[in-house]
Amino acid sequence: MGKFIHVTGNPATGCFLEFKRNYDIKDTDGEYQILPVAEVDERFVATTVAGAQKTRDTIARDRLESVATIIKPPPRSPNPFDPSNERCQSWIHRYVQQLVEEGLVDGSALSVIQTAPRVL
């Protein structure tokens, strides 16, 4: 169990920030790969309660989530098929950059994100 912080949507509609709490990666329908990005001090993360109900919302409840709220999600694009449109991968890069700048994760997290496989 853990937390899934991401933006969801697409270039045609734009994206929004979402927090999935008490999330089990095994519930993911699509293909995924787990990449250890960084260690985070537990004081910056709200505790996940074992056996608690899964929740989804857009309200930050800890420092890690609060940082995510200051990174603007990719907007709606007038040309959704333009390959230069910002996507969720670019958002996560900016989010990790902000975490590094605020001293919440080590700078090595950026190289993990930069070399991660891209998914369209």
Domain ranges within the chain, ordered by starting residue: 2-115
pTM of the model: 0.88
Asked if the model's pLDDT at residue 70 lies above 90, the reply is: yes
Q: What is the distance between the alpha carbons of residues 112 and 35, in angstroms, rounded to a whole number? A: 8
Q: Where are the alpha helices (DSSP H) in 5-118?
A: 63-69, 88-101, 108-115
Q: What pLDDT, on the 0 to 100 scale, is given for residue 119?
A: 67
Provide the H-helix boundaries in the chain. 63-69, 88-101, 108-115
Mean predicted confidence (pLDDT) in 3-28: 92
Q: At residue 3, does pLDDT exceed 70?
A: yes
**With bands split at pLDDT 50, 70 and 90, how would you rate the model's confidence at 64?**
very high
